[in-house]
Amino acid sequence: MTKLIDRARVARVMLIEDNRGDAILARMAFKRAEMKSDIVVAETGEEGLSILRREGEHADAPRPDLILLDLNLPAMHGQDFLYRVKEDPALKRIPVIVLSSSAADSDIIASYDRHANGYITKPINNATYDDIVARIEQYWFGLMQLPPDQAPASFS
């Protein structure tokens, strides 16, 4: 199995973020990164789940390779979104990195208890965003082998 960075396609990243300014910073950082990426932004957890489950207008949405998740979202909290993704057999293999302004131990613990694959405190400027995106790119798309985009095996 090859790493995504060795493949000919772009990295697919879903960003669950309700703050437009933070979403713009993230998009710009991914645009400046070495690896080509396709960023899909969902402003709510509900919208993110609809995209992931390929519901309605999202029927042809490609499955992301990685999800970056803000915790403080309107309506559905990020922890609830994380729980739903990790409990869904069709979605649970997608790595989810929490990207939150909270550095509270309780948020970090709760995220890992819900099977987050990582927790990053949200950066405050462009240079820090660029550094975080470069490290995500190196680790998740350069070093790690991600699961193929396929339905999970059934457990009988």
Q: How far apart are alpha carbons 15 and 67 in whole angstroms?
A: 6
**Residue 90 is encoded by which pair of tokens?**
């069709």
pLDDT attached to residue 109: 98
Q: How far is CA 16 from CA 8, 60, 75, 145, 152, in A?
A: 26, 19, 13, 23, 23
C-beta of residue 61 within 8 angstroms of C-beta of residue 40: yes
The segment with the largest mean pLDDT, out of 78-82, 119-123, 137-141, is 78-82
132 — pLDDT class (breaks 50, 70, 90): very high
Mean pLDDT of 29-41: 90
Could you give all domains of the chain from N- to C-terminal order, each with its CATH number?
8-143 (3.40.50.2300)
Look at 151 and 62; give whichever has higher pLDDT. Answer: 62
125 — pLDDT class (breaks 50, 70, 90): confident
Percent of the chain at pLDDT above 70? 89
Sheet with 11-16: strands ordered across: 37-42, 11-16, 66-69, 96-100, 118-121
Mean pLDDT of 124-142: 87
Question: How do residues 39-86 score in pLDDT, each as one tens digit?
Answer: 999 999 999 999 999 999 999 999 999 999 999 999 999 999 999 999
